[in-house]
Structure formats: C-alpha cells, structure tokens
Amino acid sequence: MTSEINYLGDLRTTCVHLLSGQSIITDAPLDNQGKGEAFSPTDLTATSLAACILTTMGIVARRDNMTDIDGAKATCLKVMSSEGPRRIVRVVVDIYFPKDRTYNEKEREVLERTAHTCPVARSLHPDIEQALTLHFD
C-alpha cells in the first residue's frame, strides 16, 4: 500500500503516506462547495506534476554529473473546465533555476527533455494541456 485516505466529513480528507507517516489534508475548492483551506485533490494533481518535474530533473542532474538544480523552484496553475464535466484541462508549470548557476546548452536540452517526460507528465491524460516553461536566467 502507498497511502491511506480517510474522509473526515465536510468535504475534507486526510491522506497518510504509509511508509513515512507523513500526512496532508485535502479540501474541496471554494468553487465546488468546499472551504478551500487546503490543497484540493485536483490541486495535488497539478502540484504533483511540478514536483515530479523537479525531482526527475534532480535525479538526471545527479546521475549525469551535471550542474545541480538545488534551489530550483516551480510554480503551477491548474485550470478547470468551464463547460461539460468538471476536470482539469490545463496545467501551467514554470521552473526557475537558481540565478547563481550556469547550465550549458547540452544540460539545458537534457533538463528540458526530462521535464517533458517525467512519470507524472506521461501519466496525465493527453487531453490535459501541459504548458511548461523553464527559466534559466
């Protein structure tokens, strides 16, 4: 098992990572009857994409003895459908690399390719637009 999720009522869950014991809370978003006091499940989907991109790029940078990405930051925006069934239609991810690092052209290409092929990116439905920008400067 990976996790255990308990419904607490009032559109809130607690999610426990079984290996570590770490937990997070989810709430339904304000625009869907919730309080919006924590990540919504769909927020976690978008956030997971950004976290996976950073993690995978870190693995590749370490494995290939590239300039490290320690201190890199990601922001993400989740866009929900305005018509039809409620679902994520677009995730915008911006990756900002540390200003005190220089990445050569080959490293930039490898990091870009890695970002677009992380496990979460490959797992999301193809109808979800993934808009990704890497900011090296």
pLDDT, one tens digit per residue, over 75-99 is 999 999 999 899 999 999 999 999 9
Residue 98: predicted pLDDT: 96
What distance in Å separates the CA atoms of residue 89 and residue 118, rounded to the nearest whole number? 19
| pLDDT score at 137 | 86
Q: How high is the pLDDT of residue 84?
A: 86
Please tell me the predicted confidence (pLDDT) of residue 74. Answer: 98
- Residue 53 pLDDT: 98
| pLDDT value for 129 | 98
Residues of the chain with pLDDT under 70: none
**Alpha carbons 57 and 37: distance in angstroms, whole number:** 30
CATH superfamily of 40-135: K homology (KH) domain (3.30.300.20)
Domain spans in the chain, listed from the N-terminal domain onward: 1-39, 40-135
For residues 78 and 49, the answer to whether their CB atoms sit within 8 Å is no
